[in-house]
Structure 1
Amino acid sequence: MPRDRDAEGRARSERPRDGLGRPLPYGVEGVPRQPEGVVRTPAETVREAQRLLDAGMPFHAHEVFEDAWKSGPAGERDLWQGLAQLAVGLTHAARGNAAGGARLLLRGAARISGQNDPDVRPYGIDVGGLVRWARALAARAGEVTDAAAEAPRLLGE
């Protein structure tokens, strides 16, 4: 079967995906994908990502954060990339990839903590709480992780 390509000829998988972003066989109904390239306000980004995290779909939340880092100011890139790494780390942990999940959780925690004083809350985001959450989840690598049950609270609520 030929690979899926976008209008510019770049590879793009159109296979359906499950809630953790794993590809499913063609013809099977999957979870709707996040549209790419959506420009949201920071508040909309946080709200949509939290909704997806709470639903056990951290892979999809990572795509929301990816849109934010691609469309936002350069000075906020590390914040949004770090949040995306946290979401992907949770995705890997929920898929059973403990080592990869732990590595991404720690990388994301380092990225967001390196750019912000843990007591500063850009857009209300609880950076300190997220760093603690990521480190604690990474330390439990190897345990079965339920993405919805382990979803972080972005605003620390």
Structure 2
Amino acid sequence: MDGRERDRDGAGRARSARPRDGLGRPLEYGADGVARQPEGAVRAPGETVAEAQRLLDAGMPFHAHEVFEDAWKSGPPEDAALWRALAQLAVGLTHAARGNAVGGARLLRRGAGALAGRGNAYGIDVAGLVAWAGELAERVEAGERIGAAAEAPRLSGPV
């Protein structure tokens, strides 16, 4: 370490106060970063989907994953697997956009596997996301470089 004490929250839990870029990579202290999502935010399911879509469209899947993580931790237990799977898809896209093909493809497939066979909930196009994740995982493994915003999935189906 550089002699700096670990960043801690009010309860003493380790928290990184380092700024992050749009893909969630830590930047040097004092650098301009992307605003972090408020940790532990409780949102209604529709608000979760809308905020995550906004972040995905902006090329910030790491931040979308934080929104899904809040939903799985604060929502009803019967919805936890849905939100966790969506968080895995967002992290898979994060890794793929960072150039980590192995990790990206693995998380995209893990999230798709957890979603497969589920019915649509909260307007989420489950079948569309499963297809998107499988196709993107194949392209990433084939060596295609991808951009997070250009590859952002549509969470909701056509209206």
- Matched residue, 1:139: 138
Counterpart position of 1:13: 16
Q: Counterpart in 2 of 1:86? A: 89
Alignment correspondent of 1:149: 150
Q: For 1:28-62, what per-residue CA distance to the aligned partner results, in whole angstroms no more than 9, with x for missing partners?
A: 11000000111111100000000000000000000
**Deviation digits for residues 61-91 of structure 1 (CA, Å, limit 9, x no counterpart):** 0000001101111111110000000000000
Instruction: Tell me the residue number matched to 2:105.
Output: 102
Partner residue, 1:29: 32
Correspondent of 1:43 among 46, 56, 59: 46
For 2:148 and 2:94, how far apart are their aligned partners in 1?
Answer: 7
Stretch of structure 1 that moved more, 8-17 or 43-52: 8-17
Q: Which residue of 1 aligns with 2:125?
A: 126
TM-score by length of 2: 0.94
> What is the identity, as a one-letter code, of the residue corresponding to 1:125?
I
Structure 1: give runs of 5+ residues left out of the alignment. none
Q: CA RMSD in A?
A: 0.9
Give the superposition deviation at 1:8: 2.1
Residue 60 of structure 1 corresponds to 63
The percent of aligned pairs where both chains have the same amino acid is: 73
Task: Report deviation, 1:112.
Answer: 1.3
- Quote how far apart the aligned CAs of 1:121 are: 1.6
Count residues with an aligned counterpart. 153
Q: Distance in 1 between matches of 2:31 and 2:74?
A: 32
* 1:85-136 Cα distance to aligned partner (Å, 9 max, x none): 000000000000000000000000011115x1xxx32011000000000000
Counterpart AA for 1:63: E
Supply the distance in 1 between the matched residues of 2:144 and 2:7 (Cα, whole angstroms): 35
Cα distance in 1 between the residues matched to 2:13 and 2:72: 21
Pick one of 4, 21, 37 that aligns with 2:7: 4
Higher deviation after alignment, 35-44 or 2-11: 2-11
TM-score by length of 1: 0.95
Give 5+ residue unaligned stretches, structure 2: none
